[in-house]
């Protein structure tokens, strides 16, 4: 089982991957493939201290983006391309939020695979694709047989995870020739891995198992050159994740304990759950958290914040129990006040761009309305009053579980318009549109003066993005909930 050359390397001191971990166990940040000594670093310069964007930054020391900040003059009222008057800002543009600007770490100074090396990686991937399940199983066998202590980091049932971790490894390696595209995704992933108990020194171990699995199954395309390409790709991937985790460690815990303080049923399968964290939890409207419940240890799922940050620090989530869903079922049907769950750090880039002058066009499907409600609250409290149109979709009128709240917000804010949409053929009130949200958007005119936001099930996010492009919003002005998979431009 462990007979291939790459596997024989395992356990030797000459690791293929030299992850920059110092003898103290602390990470020597940004030193790439070269092993560094403790004296070389450990100071994290703030952004700008190195004189370029490659410097390290901590959220607290970030300068205000040019042109923003409290001193900025509020623009006068304007008329939009849809003919409606945009109100004069009531409050100055908000200061950058602590959660801003920590999305991506700078590229680490490690070798990036060349175009020829990416081609070798592609060839390996093409060869193993038909036997992907066997490669994945072998990878995890190597990982857990050689490093039994790592098994405790993973959930008891590994089916979903097997697919996600290994698939992410392969997909990111394929894109390693364009690391700028990777940094945002991998920075979030690296930060998120802190809650699993992942440590910097685990990365080389995992990399050796990746090589071992590839070498065993890529009979025709594996070669010294292919191995070099994979080593470069994995070193880059893991370095970005390690760096992001190290920066995050300076500013936030790996996870938070959170007590359920209220649990309200909104419908037969949807609950509004309010949590109090044990330590301050900084996030932005439009982002999401990850939750581990006491009933399914080490099983984590994402849930969006259903409100902007509150002065009392409480966090509200909307959870819909999916059929046979482990975590959602437990949160909706089992959780009650007094229960304690664990939260990972905030993630996601579907935040309001307060530097934009455009209106906001938001598409929310099902519980995807939760982050949009949070964004409305943020705009109401801090932002300039911009036109804000929400298309709120569900299969039936009954499933528009938060329509009353949305109507209330609409009544309070003249700049907000809420358009409920339900699937074809459902009996509805006259005020409710019928059809699929993307189709309704396409039939609603041109929205080029707006920024687009989409949140909901993955299928709706994909079709929603297409619809927003079709109505005149360029890709770079569209923000959406994370798809639970890797999606890169150009794929």
Ligand X SMILES: Cc1cc2nc3c(=O)[nH]c(=O)nc-3n(C[C@H](O)[C@H](O)[C@H](O)COP(=O)(O)OP(=O)(O)OC[C@H]3O[C@@H](n4cnc5c(N)ncnc54)[C@H](O)[C@@H]3O)c2cc1C
CB of 434 to ligand X, least distance (A): 21
Number of residue whose CB is nearest ligand X: 325
Let me know: does 267 contact 401? Beta carbons within 8 Å: yes
C-alpha to C-alpha distance for 306 and 368, rounded to whole angstroms: 9
| 318 sits near ligand X (criterion: CB under 6 A) | yes
Q: Closer to ligand HEM at the Cβ: 196 or 295?
A: 196
In the list 31, 86, 216, 320, the residue contacting ligand X (rule: CB under 6 A) is 320
C-alpha to C-alpha distance for 133 and 357, rounded to whole angstroms: 49
The count of C-alpha atoms lying within 13 angstroms of the C-alpha of 356, restricted to the half-sphere facing its C-beta, is 20
- Among 360, 452, 365, 350, CA closest to 401: 365
- Among 282, 327, 280, 279, CA closest to 303: 327
Binding footprint of ligand HEM on the chain (CB under 6 A): 150, 153-155, 161, 164-165, 168-169, 172, 189, 192-193, 196, 198, 202-203, 206, 237-238, 241, 300
| 300 sits near ligand X (criterion: CB under 6 A) | no
Phi/psi of residue 176, nearest 5 degrees: -65, -20
| 319 sits near ligand X (criterion: CB under 6 A) | yes
Q: Closer to ligand X at the Cβ: 349 or 417?
A: 349
Q: Closer to ligand X at the Cβ: 233 or 315?
A: 315
Query: How far from chain centre, in Å, is Cα 161?
Result: 17
Coil, helix or strand at residue 271: strand
Select the binding partner of residue 426 from ligand HEM, ligand X, none (C-beta < 5 to 8 A, by kind): none
Strand (E) or helix (H) holding 206: helix 202-217
Q: Total number of residues binding ligand X (CB under 6 A)?
A: 23
| 322 sits near ligand X (criterion: CB under 6 A) | yes
Select the binding partner of residue 206 from ligand X, ligand HEM, none (C-beta < 5 to 8 A, by kind): ligand HEM
The count of other CB atoms within 10 Å of the CB of residue 394 is 25
Q: Residues 6 or more apart from 5 whose CB is under 8 A from it?
A: 215
Question: Which residue has 């700028």 as its token pair?
Answer: 180
Select the binding partner of residue 293 from ligand HEM, ligand X, none (C-beta < 5 to 8 A, by kind): none
Judge residue 223's burial from the number of C-beta atoms within 10 Å of its C-beta, 0-12 exposed, 13-18 middle, 19 or more buried: middle
In the list 209, 244, 327, 335, the residue contacting ligand X (rule: CB under 6 A) is 327
Q: Closer to ligand HEM at the Cβ: 198 or 304?
A: 198
| 238 sits near ligand X (criterion: CB under 6 A) | no
Select the binding partner of residue 229 from ligand HEM, ligand X, none (C-beta < 5 to 8 A, by kind): none
Stretch that binds ligand X, among 132-140, 297-305, 355-363, 461-469 (CB under 6 A): 297-305
Strand (E) or helix (H) holding 440: helix 437-442
In the list 187, 293, 367, 436, the residue contacting ligand X (rule: CB under 6 A) is 367
| 288 sits near ligand X (criterion: CB under 6 A) | yes
| 324 sits near ligand X (criterion: CB under 6 A) | yes
In the list 128, 200, 209, 482, the residue contacting ligand X (rule: CB under 6 A) is 482
Q: Closer to ligand HEM at the Cβ: 154 or 356?
A: 154
CB of 367 to ligand X, least distance (A): 4
CB of 484 to ligand HEM, least distance (A): 8
C-alpha to C-alpha distance for 141 and 202, rounded to whole angstroms: 16
Tokens of 372: 């949009």
Stretch that binds ligand X, among 10-18, 104-112, 428-436, 477-485 (CB under 6 A): 477-485
Select the binding partner of residue 370 from ligand X, ligand HEM, none (C-beta < 5 to 8 A, by kind): ligand X
Select the binding partner of residue 196 from ligand X, ligand HEM, none (C-beta < 5 to 8 A, by kind): ligand HEM
Longest dimension (CA), the chain: 72
The count of other CB atoms within 10 Å of the CB of residue 195 is 19
The count of other CB atoms within 10 Å of the CB of residue 468 is 26
Q: Closer to ligand HEM at the Cβ: 149 or 311?
A: 149
Q: Closer to ligand X at the Cβ: 208 or 399?
A: 399
Stretch that binds ligand X, among 23-31, 128-136, 300-308, 466-474 (CB under 6 A): 300-308
Q: Closer to ligand X at the Cβ: 303 or 391?
A: 303
CB of 260 to ligand HEM, least distance (A): 21
| 66 sits near ligand X (criterion: CB under 6 A) | no
* Strand partners for 171: none
The count of C-alpha atoms lying within 13 angstroms of the C-alpha of 16, restricted to the half-sphere facing its C-beta, is 26
Q: How far is residue 486 from each of residues 124, 181, 219, 232, measured CA to CA in Å?
A: 19, 11, 27, 20
Residues 240, 243, 248, 254: is their CA dihedral positive or negative?
A: positive
C-alpha to C-alpha distance for 49 and 47, rounded to whole angstroms: 6
Q: Which residues contribute to the site for ligand X (CB under 6 A)?
A: 288, 301-304, 317-320, 322-329, 367, 370, 457, 481-482, 484
């Amino acid at each position: 089982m462990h007979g291939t050359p790459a596997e024989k390397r395992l356990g030797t001191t000459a690791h293929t991957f030299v992850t920059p971990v110092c003898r103290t166990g602390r990470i020597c940040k940004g030193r790439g493939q070269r092993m560094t000594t403790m004296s070389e670093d450990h100071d994290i310069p703030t952004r700008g201290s190195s004189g370029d964007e490659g410097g390290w930054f901590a959220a607290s020391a970030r300068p205000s983006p040019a042109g923003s900040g409290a001193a900025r003059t509020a623009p006068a009222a304007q008329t939009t391309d849809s003919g409606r008057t945009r109100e004069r800002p009531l409050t100055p543009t908000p200061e950058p939020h602590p959660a801003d600007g920590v999305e991506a770490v700078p590229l680490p100074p490690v070798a990036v695979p060349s175009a020829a090396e990416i081609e070798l990686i592609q060839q390996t991937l093409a060869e193993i694709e038909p036997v992907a399940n066997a490669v994945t199983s072998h990878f995890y066998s190597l990982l857990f047989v050689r490093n039994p202590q790592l098994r405790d980091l993973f959930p008891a049932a590994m089916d979903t995870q097997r697919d996600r971790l290994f698939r992410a490894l392969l997909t990111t390696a394929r894109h390693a020739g364009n690391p700028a595209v990777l940094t945002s995704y991998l920075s979030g992933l690296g930060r998120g891995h802190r809650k699993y108990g992942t440590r910097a020194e685990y990365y080389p171990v995992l990399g050796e198992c990746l090589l071992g699995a590839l070498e065993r199954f890529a009979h025709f395309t594996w070669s010294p050159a292919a191995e070099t390409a994979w080593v470069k790709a994995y070193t880059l991937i893991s370095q970005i994740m390690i760096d992001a985790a190290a920066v995050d460690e300076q500013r936030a815990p790996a996870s938070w304990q959170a007590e359920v303080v209220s649990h309200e049923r909104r419908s037969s399968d949807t609950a509004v759950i309010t949590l109090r964290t044990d330590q301050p939890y900084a996030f932005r409207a439009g982002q999401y958290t990850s939750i581990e419940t006491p009933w399914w240890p080490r099983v984590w799922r994402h849930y969006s914040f259903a409100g902007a940050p509150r002065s009392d620090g409480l966090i509200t989530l909307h959870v819909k129990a999916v059929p046979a869903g482990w975590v959602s079922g437990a949160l909706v049907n089992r959780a009650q006040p007094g229960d304690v769950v664990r939260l990972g750090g905030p993630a996601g880039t579907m935040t309001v761009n307060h530097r934009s002058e455009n209106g906001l066009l938001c598409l929310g499907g099902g519980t995807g309305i939760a982050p949009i409600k949070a964004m409305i609250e943020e705009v109401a409290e801090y932002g300039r009053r911009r036109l804000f149109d929400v298309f709120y979709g569900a299969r039936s009128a009954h499933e528009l579980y938060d329509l009353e709240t949305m109507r209330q917000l609409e009544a309070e804010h003249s700049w907000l318009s809420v358009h409920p949409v339900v699937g074809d053929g459902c009996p509805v009130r006259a005020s409710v549109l019928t059809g699929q949200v993307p189709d309704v958007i396409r039939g609603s005119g041109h929205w080029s003066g707006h920024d687009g936001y989409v949140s909901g099930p993955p299928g709706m996010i994909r079709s929603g993005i297409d619809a927003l492009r079709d109505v005149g919003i360029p890709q770079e002005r569209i923000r959406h909930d994370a798809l639970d998979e890797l999606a890169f431009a150009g794929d």
